[in-house]
Amino acid sequence: MAKHRARGNCMDPTLEEQAYAERTYAKVSRRLLPFLFLCYILAYLDRVNLGFAKLQMLGDLKFSDATFATGAGLFFVGYFFFEVPSNLLLQRFGARRWIARIMVSWGVLSAAMMFTRSVPTFYALRLLLGLAEAGFFPGIVFYLSTWYPARMRARRTASFMAAIAVAGIIGNPLSGALMDSLSGVWGLAGWQWLFLVEGLPSVLVGIWVLSYLDSSIAEAKWLTADEKALLTANIAAEDAGKDHARVADAFADIRVWVLCFVYFCLMVGLYAVTFWLPTLVTALVGKGYLKVGLVSAIPYMAAVAAMFAVGRHSDRTGERRLHAAGSFVVAGIGLLLIGFTGDKQPILSMICLSLAAAGILTAMPLFWTLPTGFLASSAAAAGIGLINSFGNLGGYVGPKIPIWAKAAHIEPMLVVSVSLFVGSLVLAVLVKPGRAAQASS
């Protein structure tokens, strides 16, 4: 077939070329997105299953809520220090080898959580888990930006990030069932089986990455020469219009630092909800790990629907920033209302939790289209890593908010909602797209 022109050429593509491009990108999506989706389900499950293990683990080990909150947050300290170096190493060694390394190491450490016996061991394993997983999520965001132009990223990134919601839908009932059915088997507690059973699949899939994933368009043997030329030309044409391409450019751009703050606000909301959701649901529906797991899946079901609906609308209109800011607001309203409903109105509280989860998870893929709109090449790898590392410190703060707020006699979810409202305001007012983002919107 004749060589196809990249979109953005001075001549408009013909209907035949448009159809060919659509078929090519559909082929890429079929190859990459389901596999990356599976990887992220495992990543997120291994990161947050601590929230479910807490229901049994704290009593067995005599840990306090404050100890739990510190351990949950220490993951993000390790994450912070290795995030940018990990993303740059991914660019140097290739996505295939580096993502495989990340998955195998975090799977081993996640399973090793079953050996927790003391507070120092608990803290050390959570810190090491953060170091091991650092770079996975921003690495995938950067990886997708090397395959899809910005105008196509919101829905594809949402497809990948829907794994967070699906991890909640599948993982919470699974975690509950494991703890209900395996407690005491071979002398192990339910929470120990939880870490073991949910950690080992990451090791196996990490090994699979080595034979399945291609680090670049050029390496993809499942693409024809014409398909590779089309994809490469589209990315090259877009990168030529971006503001920055060097590592130093990412650190010098004020927009990157503003996005660090905005993402911090969002992560405060995400992890405050994620780590405490099983506890909140237990207060609503009573004990029974499987029952708590099934009810905990409801907010994530709402989030899946919202992510695809809003992502599709954002792709159709080309607008990202205000869609993301609006999602922050929806999440903030949901959390604010939880403070008033309490456990006396369980149905209304679940509606509010569903609003919060839908808003937070919908905002995430929309947010990540912003830095790749003005950063390219090494600047994109460094900038995405920088934003994710600083922003994920909100994962250290979020789990601690219920502890701090209760000590100050303040409703915890009120504090979290304020974080989301502030993030929304900063995003809407201060973050302006770069030239490439404007062109692709």
Q: Report the pLDDT averaged over residues 352-371.
A: 88
Joined together, the tokens standing for residue 152 give 């196509």
- For residues 72 and 275, the answer to whether their CB atoms sit within 8 Å is yes
* pLDDT > 60? residue 353: yes
Residues 185-200 pLDDT 10s: 998 998 999 999 989 9
Domains of the chain in sequence order: 17-440 (1.20.1250.20)
User: Which residues make beta-bridge pairs with 375?
Assistant: 244
The better pLDDT of the pair 130, 12 is held by 130
Q: Report the pLDDT averaged over residues 98-105.
A: 93
Residues 214-258 pLDDT 10s: 989 999 999 999 999 999 998 887 665 555 556 677 777 888 899
- For 381, other C-beta atoms within 10 Å of its C-beta total 29
Which residues, including other chains, have CB under 8 Å from residue 222's CB and lie 6 or more apart?
Answer: 27, 31
Q: What is the 3-state secondary structure (H, E, C) of the chain?
A: CCCCCCCCCCCCCCHHHHHHHHHHHHHHHHHHHHHHHHHHHHHHHHHHCHHHHHHHHHHHHCCCHHHHHHHHHHHHHHHHHHHHHHHHHHHHHCHHHHHHHHHHHHHHHHHHHHHCCCHHHHHHHHHHHHHHHCCHHHHHHHHHHCCCCHHHHHHHHHHHHHHHHHHHHHHHHHHHHHHHHHCCHHHCCHHHHHHHHHHHHHHHHHHHHHHHCCCCCCCCCCCCHHHHHHHHHHHHHHHCCCCECCHHHHHHCHHHHHHHHHHHHHHHHHHHHHHHHHHHHHHHHCCCHHHHHHHHHHHHHHHHHHHHHHHHHHHHHCCCHHHHHHHHHHHHHHHHHHHHHHHHCHHHHHHHHHHHHHHHHHHHHHHCCCHHHCECHHHHHHHHHHHHHHHCCHHHHHHHHHHHHHHCCCCHHHHHHHHHHHHHHHHHHHCCCCHHHHHHC
pLDDT of residue 413: 82
Residues 205-219 pLDDT 10s: 999 999 999 989 999
Cα dihedral: 36, 37, 40, 42 (round 10): -110
- For residues 303 and 167, the answer to whether their CB atoms sit within 8 Å is no
- For residues 43 and 106, the answer to whether their CB atoms sit within 8 Å is yes
Task: Compute the distance between CA of residue 96 and CA of residue 206 in angstroms, rounded to an integer.
Answer: 9
pLDDT of residue 241: 52
pLDDT of residue 6: 47
The amino acid present at 371, given as its one-letter code, is P
pLDDT of residue 128: 92
Q: Report the pLDDT averaged over residues 83-104.
A: 86
Angle at which helix 377-391 crosses helix 65-93, to 10 degrees, equals 180
Name the one residue in this structure whose structure tokens are 């990948």.
Answer: 160
* pLDDT > 90? residue 116: yes
Task: Compute the distance between CA of residue 392 and CA of residue 83 in angstroms, rounded to an integer.
Answer: 10
Give ∠ CA 158-39-326 in degrees, rounded to 5.
Answer: 20
Q: Report the pLDDT averaged over residues 419-431.
A: 91
* Mean confidence (pLDDT) of the chain: 82
- For residues 231 and 145, the answer to whether their CB atoms sit within 8 Å is no
- For residues 381 and 368, the answer to whether their CB atoms sit within 8 Å is no
Angle at which helix 254-285 crosses helix 321-341, to 10 degrees, equals 30
Task: Compute the distance between CA of residue 281 and CA of residue 51 in angstroms, rounded to an integer.
Answer: 12
Residues 138-197 pLDDT 10s: 888 888 888 988 777 767 777 777 787 787 788 778 888 888 888 889 989 989 999 999
When pLDDT is cut at 50, 70 and 90, the band that residue 86 belongs to is: confident
Task: Compute the distance between CA of residue 96 and CA of residue 334 in angstroms, rounded to an integer.
Answer: 39
pLDDT of residue 434: 47
User: Which residues make beta-bridge pairs with 244?
Assistant: 375
pLDDT of residue 8: 43
